[in-house]
Amino acid sequence: MDNFDQVMPLNYFGNEVAGFICAMNEEFYIHLIVQDNTYPRKVRLRGCEKLHRVLKPVLHTLEKHLNQTNTIKDMLCEIQNALEQQIRLIGPNPLVDRCAEYNVIFEQLQACGWDKVDFISSDFHELHLKAVDESDREHILKVWIPDKFPNEGPKFECDLPQDFQYRWLPDDSLLNIFSVFQETLNMFAEFWNIMDELDKNTWILEPETSSRKDCKRRIALSPGVSLFLVVNPLMPTAVPTCHYLGPERVVEPVRAKFNKNIHKWNEFDSLLTNLQQVLELEFPSPATSVKEEFCIECGICYSYLLGEATPEMTCDSPDCNQSFHHACIYEYIRMLPDVRSSFNKLFGHCPYCNKPMWCTIL
Using CB under 5 A, list all residues that contact Zn ion.
298, 300-301, 306, 315, 317, 320, 322, 325, 328, 350, 352-353
CA 81 to the chain's CA centroid = 42
Q: With respect to Zn ion, which residue has the nearer C-beta, 6 or 317?
A: 317
Element (H, E) at 189: helix 174-201
- C-beta atoms surrounding 205 within 10 Å: 22
Q: Are 97 and 26 in contact (CB under 8 A)?
A: yes
Paired strand residues for 347: 340, 358
How far is Cα 95 from Cα 138, in angstroms, rounded to an integer?
Answer: 40
Closest contact distance (angstroms) between CB of 249 and Zn ion is 12
How far is Cα 305 from Cα 325, in angstroms, rounded to an integer?
Answer: 8
Q: With respect to Zn ion, which residue has the nearer C-beta, 139 or 325?
A: 325
Closest contact distance (angstroms) between CB of 309 and Zn ion is 8
Q: With respect to Zn ion, which residue has the nearer C-beta, 86 or 322?
A: 322
- C-beta atoms surrounding 115 within 10 Å: 11
How far is Cα 76 from Cα 74, in angstroms, rounded to an integer?
Answer: 5
Q: With respect to Zn ion, which residue has the nearer C-beta, 184 or 317?
A: 317
Q: With respect to Zn ion, which residue has the nearer C-beta, 155 or 355?
A: 355
Q: With respect to Zn ion, which residue has the nearer C-beta, 108 or 322?
A: 322
Closest contact distance (angstroms) between CB of 254 and Zn ion is 20
Closest contact distance (angstroms) between CB of 65 and Zn ion is 60
Closest contact distance (angstroms) between CB of 203 and Zn ion is 20
Closest contact distance (angstroms) between CB of 323 and Zn ion is 9
- C-beta atoms surrounding 292 within 10 Å: 11
How far is Cα 190 from Cα 54, in angstroms, rounded to an integer?
Answer: 52
Name 68's Cβ contacts closer than 8 Å, sequence gap at least 6. none
Q: What is the CA radius of gyration of the chain?
A: 29
